Chain A
Amino acid sequence: GAGVSQSPSNKVTEKGKDVELRCDPISGHTALYWYRQRLGQGLEFLIYFQGNSAPDKSGLPSDRFSAERTGESVSTLTIQRTQQEDSAVYLCASSPPPWNTEAFFGQGTRLTVV
């Protein structure tokens, strides 16, 4: 079956512009995560969705970052007024019920802010 799909694969944007990144989780997966991975660095947790419950936004670095997910389907991560330090690979992962323990990752979106 299809894995976690992210689009676009690469995005180059000008400083100050808004960008929207998309994640299609594996069908039936109730949990969805967004992470940021700067060049050569580890995973930085951004946000976690669990079913229809309120998301855990504790990792969002600033109010320029927001994410939405409708039910258990597609999620979008929006970065407003992009800055050069936002340049990174943004990873999405989803996990199946009932325990949501194993995460399946997408290939990531490489964002470059110029």
Chain B
Amino acid sequence: AQRVTQPEKLLSVFKGAPVELKCNYSYSGSPELFWYVQYSRQRLQLLLRHISRESIKGFTADLNKGETSFHLKKPFAQEEDSAMYYCAQPYYHFQGAQKLVFGQGTRLTINP
């Protein structure tokens, strides 16, 4: 079965320190991977997607096919980065449609 694994439920780092949120995927058939973020009292929203190769709010994520990973990184964490982060991957469902599968999420806390 298609799985997206985020091994850390909780991650706490100090402001200004580097942060890395881990994500591993099992389905090699899709080149697309996403990171979603949920800030306190806000709706879940897309942070970045692999295919765009962009940096959003200082975050980047590199696809490593050898390790089947898509870890999210930021060199210098800020307090406003505290949030719940989800990794997601679409996989072929049927009739050309794809279904998004989410990891269990990592709650990131940035300490002052």
Chain A residues near B49 (CB-CB < 8 A): 102
Inter-chain CA distance A43–B96, complex, in Å, is 25
User: What does DSSP make chain B's interface, helix, strand, loop or mixed?
Assistant: strand
Interface contact A98-B96, CB-CB below 8 Å: yes
B95 with A40: CB separation less than 8 A: no
Chain B residues with CB under 8 A of A79:
none
B43 contacts across to A, CB distance below 8 A: 105-108
Tally of B interface residues using CB under 8 Å: 28
Contacting pair B44 A42 (CB below 8 A) = no
Are A56 and B93 in contact, with the CB atoms below 8 A? yes
The closest CB in chain B to the CB of A97 belongs to B97
Instruction: Say yes or no: B44 contacts A100, CB within 8 Å.
Output: no
Pair B98/A99 contact, Cβ less than 8 Å: yes
* Contact A100–B98 (Cβ < 8 Å): yes
Looking at the assembled complex, report how far the CB atom of A14 sits from the nearest CB atom of chain B, in whole angstroms: 27
- The digit string for A84-113, where 1 denotes a CB below 8 A from any CB of B, is 000000010101001111110111100000
Known: A43-B104, A53-B95. A101 touches B90 (CB 8 A): yes
CB contacts (< 8 Å) of B32 on chain A: these are: 101
Q: How far is the CA of A102 from the CA of B98 in the complex (A)?
A: 10
Expressed in whole angstroms, the minimum distance between the Cβ of A98 and any Cβ of chain B is 7
Determine whether the beta carbon of B99 is less than 8 Å from that of A99.
no
Say yes or no for A50: interface residue by CB 8 A criterion: yes
Q: Is the CB of B97 within 8 A of A102?
A: no
A31 lies within 8 A of chain B by Cβ: yes
Across the interface, name the chain B residue whose C-beta is closest to A98. B96
Q: Can you pick out 8 interface pairs between chain A and chain B where the beta carbons lie within 8 Å of each other?
A: A42-B84, A42-B105, A43-B104, A48-B93, A50-B95, A53-B94, A99-B98, A108-B43
Query: 8 closest A-B pairs (Cβ-Cβ)?
Result: A42-B105, A42-B104, A105-B44, A101-B90, A50-B97, A107-B43, A105-B43, A43-B102
